[in-house]
Every structure is written in C-alpha cells, then in structure tokens.
Amino acid sequence: MHCSMKRRFSRTPENKSGAIIIVEDEELIALEARIILTGAGFDVVAAASTAEEALRLVYELTPDLVLMDIILGGDMDGVEAAAKIQSRSDIPVVYLTAYSDDETIQRALATKPYGYLIKPFKAHELITMVAVTLNKSRGDKKLREKQELARILLDTPFGAAALLDEQGCILAVNKEQTLLFGKEEQDLIGTSYFFHLPENAQATQENFFHQSVSSGDALTFEEVRCDRILQHRIYPIGNRPQTDLVAIFSLDVTTEKTAVRELRASQEQLRALTARIQSVREEERKHISREIHDNLGQSLTALKMETAWLAKRYAKIIGQESQDIIRDSFYRINGIIEDSMNTVRRIAMELRPGVLDDLGLVSAIEWQLQEFRERTGIPFHFATELDDDAVDTEIATELFRIFQEALTNVYRHAGAASVDVRLTASDGRLDMVIADDGRGIPPEKITTAESLGILGMKERAFLLRGEVVVSGEEGAGTTVSVRIPLGSEG
C-alpha cells in the first residue's frame, strides 16, 4: 500500500498554458512529471496519489487538465475517478499507464479520454501530449459554446435570427430567418448572409456588419423592404480582437412603426385642434371684452351723465331740505355707477387686456405686474431688453396667458415676499422666467393631476413647440421657466 501523497503548488497568474493536476501514486513519477511540465511553462497546481483526493482537488481547483494514473491505491482506480470527473465537468483527462488488463482498458475507453501516455515516458512525449490536449480541449470548449449559442439563438422568440462568423458566413439560423430569406436551412448554412439580401440592401448591411465587428459594439438599424419595415440588430460576441461570432436579429416592426406614425399624426391633429380652440377662445374674449368696454361702458357713462343732469335739474325746483335728500341719493347712485364702470373695465381687461393688442407683450407684462402689486402688495422686479413689437401676436398671447397663470399661482400658493421676472431672446428662442421667494412647490406636486394650472401652462407652450419647466424647493421658492422657439407655428 502506498501512502497518500498530496502536494499543492502555487498558481502563476501570468502562466496561460493551463492549470494541471497530476494523479499518480508513484511519487518519483509524479515529481518527474511536475518538473518537466513546470519547466515547459505549464502550471501544475496540485498532485494526488489516490482517486478520492484527486476528486476533491478537481472539484475545488477546476483545472484545465488532469493527468490520471489508471492503477491507484485505495478503493477507487483512475478510470472510476475519470468517469466521475466526466459526469460533472468537461475537464479533459489523459491516462498515465504502464500496463493494464483488457477489461480496464475498455473501461478507460468508455470515459472518452483525450489521450494515453505509456510509462515510463520521455519529456518531449509528456510536453507534446499536454500541449495537444490543452489545445484540443480549448477548441472543443469553443465549439460547445458556439453550439450552445446557436441553440439559444434558434430558440429566440424575437423574430428572425442568424449566427455568423466574422466574415459574414452563416453558421446557424432559426425558422423565422429561413422564412424571411425564403430558403431552406441547408441552403443557407455555409453561405454569405449578405448574398441572400435584396441587392439594394446588401452594401448597407454589410457596411453595418463590418462596423460592428471592428468596433465590437452592437448596432441597430432599419430597412424598408417592400411595404414592410425591418429592424436589424447586430451583436458581436466576444471581445475584440477575438470577436469570431456575430448574431443578427431581424424583427418586423411595421405594425409598431405604423402605430407610432398614426399616434404622432393624431397628436398633431389634436395640437392643431387645440390651437384652433385657443385661437377662437382668444378672439371671442377679445370680442366680448370690446363689447363690454364699448357698449356697456358707454351706457354706464351716459347713465352717469344723465344722473348728474337730473341732480342739477331737481336742485332748482325743490326746496333746500329736499335738495339735501336728493343730492345724497344721487351721490349714492353715482357711486354705484362708478363701481359698475370700474367692474366693467376690470372684466374687459381680464378677458383681453387692450394693452396686449395695442402696445404688445412687454407693456402687457408691466401692466399686469403693476396690477398684481396693487392687488396683493407683493413687489416685483421685471428685466427685459425686448421691444413690444419683437414678438408676434400668437406667441405674445400664449406667453402672456402663461405669465398670468404663473402670477395667479404665486398669489394663491407661494406666500412670496417678491417676484422676479426676466424676458430674453437669444439663439432663435424666447425665454421667460418667473421666480418667487415663497414656500416652494414640492416636486411631487408638479406632475399631479390636481396641478391644472401647471398643466395648462405646459399645454400652451406645447402648442408653440416650446416647453414649461416648473421647479421648486421647500422654503426656497418656485421658478417657472418658459422656452418658446421664435417664429413657431402652433
């Protein structure tokens, strides 16, 4: 009986020749093999003299190769140990043997070893066997990886799929790919992928393919084929420069693209309809504002004049005591008329400020800020270098309405001590910023369904292909930023 021999050696990280475990119950042969292999640049990571110890080391260290003596001491021989290794991994085994009976040889063959080495062996025989085995094992591993990748590829639920080599030669295809090309699988394997494409698509797809292979990056592009839209995705497999497999997935996205186009068209129609409604609404407001100001205002003015004339008339024909009563009554009536005239002017201005039509956006903002200060007591600062005629009517109207809504929010919710307004134009766009120093809007309330005022501002900006961004921080105020392209058509 041989003593259990167990030695473990340190790995050399820089060694790329493969990690080896030697299983040999003759200590001198094991030592000789280790010296030969280490001298040749291989990495002998451990040695064992029994099958049981060999299995433990293999499972722990997962080497690239096991040199296995067939006849070992103990309850298990090398053939049985190799069979157990083969059942749990694809680690190659090379048998070391001096002699054995036919039955043992047949058992050894059943484990499909990578080779045999007859003891006593020469140094060059051992080195050659190990080098050939490691090289073949790596090739087999690559082949298995490719086969597994092909199997996964063929099972993909994402449309047509093909596995190519780095030259574009077809290695595997799934059923959807054969349907797309209109050919049987056996007619595709081993041929150029690009040969089966329409002539007008060959150069483009081949160019994308080589770009992807050379860069190592995945690429996605679309192709219009007849009345269908195909989306192609190229995925290089492996790291450059070792990329030798490329997967191409092709998916018919006609339905999705059509749905997106229809949705965009619907959005454009909705935007046009909303813009028309807004335009009609503003025209109606302008009309009502003028009717109220001109007709009702004139009627109230005439009523005031008639009341004043009656007061003077009756003062001449009645006594002093009655004059005092009549005068007080006419004063009260005159006050009511004055209040009514002020109300008419206020309603007319709220419906459509005449200053917006007569003077322009800048003057309208200044007027609104002054009204806001008189009504709320909140001071403001307004900065702009724009002229009143710098902005066309449509943009001026929508921007002014956004500005009004922002001021309303300051008054209702901010609790601010001041308001800062800036209006600038640069790079073909108009920017307006309304900032307050109030309590600040919480971020979670900016996008809630209850924030109808903010939603209205964003919709108005959207009609002009612009945007409204509302930001706030608790205790640090709220800022409304409006950006509108100049000359946009709603």
What is the mean pLDDT for each group of 10 consecutive residues in the chain (490 residues)?
41 57 90 90 91 90 90 85 88 83 76 84 89 86 72 73 87 87 89 90 89 87 84 78 77 83 76 66 65 63 71 64 68 76 67 66 86 86 80 80 84 84 86 87 67 77 84 83 72
Question: Cα separations (Å) of 477 from 25, 375, 376?
Answer: 83, 21, 17
Determine how many CB atoms are found less than 10 A away from the CB of residue 348.
22
Place of tokens 């290695």: 171
Q: Identify each DSSP E strand in 24-124 by its residue range.
A: 43-48, 65-69, 93-97, 115-118
pLDDT for res 388: 66
Q: Span 357-485: which CATH code? A: 3.30.565.10
The pair phi, psi for residue 482, each rounded to 5°, is -120, 130
The tokens of 169 are what? Answer: 């030669």
Query: How buried is residue 118: exposed, middle or buried, by Cβ count under 10 Å (0-12/13-18/19+)?
Result: exposed
Give yes or no for a contact between 164 and 246, defined as CB atoms under 8 angstroms apart: yes
pLDDT for res 194: 92
* pTM for this model (two decimals): 0.41
At 320 the three-state DSSP class reads: helix
Q: Output DSSP code: residue 487.
A: T
The pair phi, psi for residue 174, each rounded to 5°, is -100, 180
Residues with Cβ < 8 Å from 298, sequence gap 6 or more?
none
Distance CA 276, CA 279 (A): 5
Distance CA 278, CA 356 (A): 16
The tokens of 154 are what? Answer: 């063929």
The answer for 246, left when phi > 0, alpha when psi is -120 to 50, beta otherwise, is beta
The two beta strands, 419-426 and 219-225, are: unpaired
Residues with Cβ < 8 Å from 145, sequence gap 6 or more?
none
At 13 the three-state DSSP class reads: coil
Amino acid residing at 132: V
Amino acid residing at 413: H
- Angle formed by the axes of helices 78-88 and 51-61, nearest 10°: 20
Chain centroid offset of residue 470 CA: 23
Chain centroid offset of residue 330 CA: 73
**CATH architecture label of 156-252:** 2-Layer Sandwich (3.30)
Helix count and strand count (H, E) for the chain: 16, 16
pLDDT for res 316: 64
- The residues spanned by each domain of the chain are 6-142, 156-252, 259-352, 357-485
Distance CA 370, CA 372 (A): 5
Fold of 6-142: Rossmann fold (3.40.50)
